[in-house]
A and B are shown apart, each in its own frame.
Chain A
Amino acid sequence: MSMISQEEALKKPLPTPDGDSVELWEGLKDGKLLLQKCADCGDIQYYRQEMCCNCLSDNVQSFEASGKGTIHSFSVVHRAPGPAFKADTPYAVLLVELEEGPRMISSLVGSDPNTIEMDMKVELVTEKLTDDISLPRFKLAE
């Protein structure tokens, strides 16, 4: 592991898509969260990988998630992990359970993080960071 320079520490980390994930990040640019379903065993998976993590089949097919889910757990961050996130505190990191089954890490937008509770309903919101990257975030469901 190399050391992080002060300059780098001030920048928020941007994901670098790889061979497994490139379609996920392409989909998010259009506001779509893509999950995968295995045509052989029926397993539904997130994150995206070019192989079923259950039966190891290549026969995985993309589909768009409803974007609906619940808060399986959360933690409101008051002490940021480095300077890049300091201005955002307090913010809620979410462990979202999607309606389709898989869970994902995300963070809350649009509400006071101190008012959220376990098992509340949330909805996907995509947030454009750059021309290449939009992040899947969540707001409380109406």
Chain B
Amino acid sequence: MVNKKSIRGKAAVIGIGVSPLGRVPGRSPLWLAADATRNALADAGIDKMQIDGVMSGHSFASPFHRFNVALSEYIGIQPTFSNTYQVSGATAATLFNIAAAAIDTGLAETILISMGDSLLSGLTPDMALRSMTESRDQQYEMPFGIPVSNTFAMTAARHMKNYGTTSEQLAEVAVIHREHAMNTPGAQMTKPLSVDDVLSSKVVTTPYHKYDCSLVSDGGASFIVTSAERAQDLGIEKPIYILGGGECYTHEHIFKKEDITTTGAKRSSELAYARAGVTADDIDTAGVYDCFTGTVIMMLEDLGFCPKGEGGPFVSDRQITYGGKVPINTHGGLLSHCHPGIPGSLLHFYEVILQLRGQAGDRQVQGAELGLVHSLGAGFATNATTILGTESTL
């Protein structure tokens, strides 16, 4: 159902900021979020007291029930609209969609979206994995020793069986992400990577090798979102508008999902395209959640960039980088740039917004005016899509 009342162009991102990313020892998740917030405020050119809404997500290393409230206290503000959303990796896009709706309906005027976590330095590797495993069901999944990667791995395995997707094609996803990260200052992984390197890296959970899996990192990211009118009043040079969003929650347990090779991203993106009044073919650059290489292949199909089952060849044809159909994750993504847990997908937003502003430097996708970010989590249980555009797309 697409409601005629639309958030299209009602709200705009006017400030973006990140903390130090990668390995950031000695910094708490709240500091990472607050540091990113200082940078986003400076970027927008506004004072913290102009924020009346704060939206955040869960931090594993600082498991506050209300990270949003803790963050507001930490940076000394008292918002009148605030929440911590918990839909795992899909949280980021969800926050942008809800922020636009909240601004459009007057619940808030200027919203801070901010998250931070320190999965690399704040937790031991085993504790980090175990804390993620705890998000699986304690009766029907956890007793069988399911790592967080396993649910994703089983969907990839079935995709390979149904569509002939190969391990080499999965590896090519990692290789292209590494190429992108090598152009990104501060990326965590900048050593060249080959298909052979991926295939000869240690197996984590079949069909995934070490380099098929995203990184474990520290970091925070923040965004200032306000009404289109306020962005204009402030004289913001290049506001990036939220054009549409969609979400889809298909299951809690992967065993309840009938077709495990098609995800809720299909529905969430259909809604987002319809609400934004655009199609997949119109998208100039995208941030595609890349927790694992196979995830990217399935998303390329479900987001409509290529037909179902053709994600593998689409990657082999280098359609996801410069000169291809849709350059994705030009910063290097969760696979090679930075993956601080739930905040990870905020970095997809950061990169897509840089691209739309024309501020991506050597990584610039020429003429990028329309962007998409897809966030997902919990073994494809949660999916959320946001479509962003420059003034010319309104």
Contact = CB atoms under 8 A, between A and B. Distances in A.
Nearest to A90: B203
Interface string B222-260: 000000000000000000000000000000011110001
A141 interface: no
Interface in B182-204: 202-204
Interface residues of A, number: 43
Contact of B140 (A79, A82, A105, A118): A105
Contact of B127 (A4, A76, A104, A135): A4
A78 interface: yes
Contact of A93 (B63, B146, B202, B256): B146
A73 B155 contact: yes
Interface stretch (A6-14, A32-40, A57-65): A6-14
B392 interface: no
B148 A72 contact: no
Contacts of B138: 13, 15-16
Contacts of B144: 93, 105-107, 135, 137
Contacts, number: 129
B140 A104 contact: yes
Nearest to B148: A81
A60 to B, nearest CB: 16
Contact of A135 (B143, B161, B206, B208): B143
A80 interface: yes
A33 to B, nearest CB: 12
Contacts of A46: 255
Given A16-B139, A82-B129, A75 B206 contact: yes
Contacts of B133: 81-82
A25 B323 CA distance: 56
B202 A104 contact: no
B204 A81 contact: no
B139 A78 contact: no
Contacts of A106: 144
Contacts of B146: 77, 81, 93, 105
B110 to A, nearest CB: 30
Contact of A83 (B63, B126, B131, B134): B126
A75 B254 contact: no
A42 interface: no
A80 B145 contact: yes
A9 B149 CA distance: 18
B166 interface: no
A113 to B, nearest CB: 9
B273 to A, nearest CB: 29
B141 interface: yes
A107 B157 CA distance: 16
A103 interface: yes
Nearest to A8: B130
A104 B205 CA distance: 19
B142 interface: yes
B157 A88 contact: no
Given A73-B158, A118-B157, A21 B130 contact: no
Interface in A94-123: 95, 102-107, 118
Contacts of B203: 76, 78-79
B312 interface: no
A27 interface: no
Given A21-B139, A105-B140, A80 B147 contact: yes
Interface of B: 58, 60, 63, 126-127, 129-134, 138-150, 153-155, 157-158, 161, 202-208, 253-256, 260
13 contacts: A4-B131, A47-B139, A73-B157, A73-B158, A75-B205, A75-B208, A79-B203, A79-B205, A81-B145, A81-B148, A82-B133, A88-B145, A135-B144
Interface of A: 1-4, 9, 12-18, 21, 46-47, 72-85, 88, 91, 93, 95, 102-107, 118, 129, 135, 137
